[in-house]
Amino acid sequence: MKKDRANGLSLKEHEVAGNGLLDRRLFLLRGLQFGVIANITPTNSLATTATDIDLIGPTWMHEPGEPFSTYGEPSEHEDDVVRFPVQNEMVPGNGVSWTPLHLLEGTITPNGLHYERHHNGVPQINPKNHRLLIHGLVKKDLIFSIDDLLRYPMESKICFIECGGNSNAGWNKQPSQSQAGYFNGLASCSEWTGVPLSVLLAEVGLRKKSKWLVAEGADAFAMQMSIPIDKALDDAFLALYQNGERIRPENGYPLRLIVPGWEGVLNVKWLRRLKVTNRPVMARNETSRYTELQPSGKSRMFTFPIEAKSLITSPSAHMVLKGPSLYQITGLAWSGRGKISKVEISADGGETWGEAALQEPILDRSFTRFRLPWNWNGKPAVLKSRAIDETGYVQPERTELVKKRGRHGFFHYNAITNWHIDSDGFVSHVYDKKENETTDSDINIDSDWD
């Protein structure tokens, strides 16, 4: 059996699926060397050659370093790791900014890179002038200051938030060639800390007919969404902190409603009012938007939980593999219905599948990092990942999803993403061959944020 010289072991005997996918337990072996996956970015193309580098006595070892800082910033050499904003021309506060998932590792999204979806900008709220009103079908209407809420017993939960419109370029007839995060990164994962909603609802005292909550934000859109009271009492909470610090303005400062696992728009930012009702308010963003038109002409409404989804973040579009070698395939999986139980990867376009290693701890409704070693032989290949959650739900192929839902639902696109690697190692986004749709020009829906 041919030995892989670089790694000094036989990789063939560790294959678990076609085209070089290796056993996830191979990570436990020491001395594995992975090939280089480079991002094709201007920064990388300017990389200095080895001969220019003074490794013996670099300048930063011969002069005092920078002084202390009050709030740390990323290295200037990481300035390509940024959100990618897409805004409305006339109303620049209406749009999105995508998390660069393809440039990040682990499971927690840094606060400055958490995705944004605003309908009319980011309000700069002075917390002293902000209140939360809880009223409606309650025994006692109450109003809380932020200082009041900071004195309540708190809980933390690590969970993802994903915009219902994430990955919607997938509905287009031509595969998007944006980097993985720049069309799938309206999803981020944080540790949120705040007051369980059940505690506050107990204080106002729910009346018998209470079935829904209408949540309202203090932004210029006065965002309004209806949430079933059962979910509110189950695990929703009012977050004051994100990853240990107070929530950033663009993520809802000073108070954000967190509805774990349910579509992002329900996680109302800048929360100022909760009205307890017996029915939904039928707001603009639960009727004319965030509903999914089906081929029948009928539309799905109140499709709250995010279905299981996964995405290979490396290698992914715009990256290049530097020659045949052993590579690490890595990515993220998540489900709004619970924990991820398994992620499978294919390196032969879906013919055979191997099980990826999942990073512990695997948390409920959170990003789950997966990894698998892959021995690339230098020939064209198609990589896929599919998530399976603890309910047994299996992430669908795009053909399957489009067949079931049509192409005009706009929201809740969660199909498998294919990355094609050509013989030069360049990675691009492709649909399955059987999905080849007409090549005539088509309206691109991913820029339609209004």
Partner 1 sequence: MIKKKMKRQILISILIAIGINPDYATSFQDHGPGLGSGVSSEEIAAWDTSVFPDGEGLPRGEGSVKNGEVLYKSKCITCHGENGLGTTTGAQLAGAQLDLTSEYPEQTIGSYWPYATTVFDVIRRSMPMTAPGSLSDNEVYALTAYLLFLNNIIDEYGVMNASKLPKVKMPNEDGFINIYKIEETFR
- Whether 162 and 146 have beta carbons less than 8 Å apart is answered as no
Among 143, 351, 361, 377, binds partner 1 (CB under 8 A): 143
Among 41, 172, 277, 328, binds partner 1 (CB under 8 A): 277
- Under the binding rule (CB under 8 A), the answer on residue 86 touching partner 1 is no
Angle at 368 between CA 363 and CA 372, to 5 degrees: 140
Q: State the minimum distance, in angstroms, from the CB of residue 46 to partner 1.
A: 36
- Under the binding rule (CB under 8 A), the answer on residue 288 touching partner 1 is yes
Angle at 347 between CA 310 and CA 363, to 5 degrees: 25
CB-based contacts of 435: which residues, under 8 Å, 6+ apart?
398, 399, 402
Find out whether the peptide bond into 254 is cis, omega within 30 degrees of 0: yes
Q: What track of x and - describes contact with partner 1 for positions 160 through 179 (by CB under 8 A)? A: --------------------
Which tokens sit at 187? 């999803």
d(CA 50, CA 90): 48
- Whether 423 and 378 have beta carbons less than 8 Å apart is answered as yes
Give whole-number Cα distances, 155 to 53, 237, 334, in Å: 49, 8, 21
Nearer to partner 1, 281 or 394 (CB): 281
Nearer to partner 1, 29 or 143 (CB): 143
- Under the binding rule (CB under 8 A), the answer on residue 128 touching partner 1 is no
Q: State the minimum distance, in angstroms, from the CB of residue 135 to partner 1.
A: 5
Among 41, 111, 120, 174, binds partner 1 (CB under 8 A): 120
Nearer to partner 1, 88 or 328 (CB): 88
- Whether 254 and 194 have beta carbons less than 8 Å apart is answered as no
* Four-residue CA torsion sign, 222, 283, 88, 80: positive
Token look-up 């594995």 returns 32
Nearer to partner 1, 134 or 427 (CB): 134
- Under the binding rule (CB under 8 A), the answer on residue 112 touching partner 1 is no
Among 3, 12, 25, 139, binds partner 1 (CB under 8 A): 139
Q: Phi-psi bin for 392: left (phi > 0), alpha (psi -120 to 50), beta?
A: left
Q: Return the closest-CA partner of residue 227 out of 240, 236, 239, 219.
A: 236
Of 174-233, binders to partner 1 (CB under 8 A) are 195-196, 198-208, 210, 214, 216, 220-222, 224, 228, 233
Q: What track of x and - describes contact with partner 1 for positions 11 through 30 (by CB under 8 A)? A: --------------------
Query: Which phi and psi angles does 342 have, rounded to 5°?
Result: -160, 145
Q: State the minimum distance, in angstroms, from the CB of residue 381 to partner 1.
A: 34
Q: State the minimum distance, in angstroms, from the CB of residue 283 to partner 1.
A: 7
Q: How many other C-beta atoms lie within 10 A of the C-beta of residue 65?
A: 7
Q: Return the closest-CA partner of residue 366 out of 333, 399, 328, 392.
A: 333
- Under the binding rule (CB under 8 A), the answer on residue 236 touching partner 1 is no
Q: Which H or E run contains 192?
A: strand 187-196
- Whether 113 and 99 have beta carbons less than 8 Å apart is answered as yes
- Under the binding rule (CB under 8 A), the answer on residue 94 touching partner 1 is yes
> Which part of the chain contacts partner 1 (CB under 8 A), choosing from 27-35, 84-92, 109-117, 338-346?
84-92
> Which part of the chain contacts partner 1 (CB under 8 A), choosing from 15-23, 285-293, 319-327, 383-391?
285-293
Token look-up 């005292």 returns 205
- Under the binding rule (CB under 8 A), the answer on residue 439 touching partner 1 is no
Q: Return the closest-CA partner of residue 419 out of 427, 408, 411.
A: 427
Q: State the minimum distance, in angstroms, from the CB of residue 295 to partner 1.
A: 7
> Which part of the chain contacts partner 1 (CB under 8 A), choosing from 34-42, 144-152, 242-250, 390-398?
144-152
Binding site for partner 1 (CB under 8 A): 88-91, 94, 119-120, 133-135, 139-144, 148-149, 151-153, 195-196, 198-208, 210, 214, 216, 220-222, 224, 228, 233, 273, 275, 277, 279, 281-284, 287-288, 291, 293, 295-304, 408, 443, 450
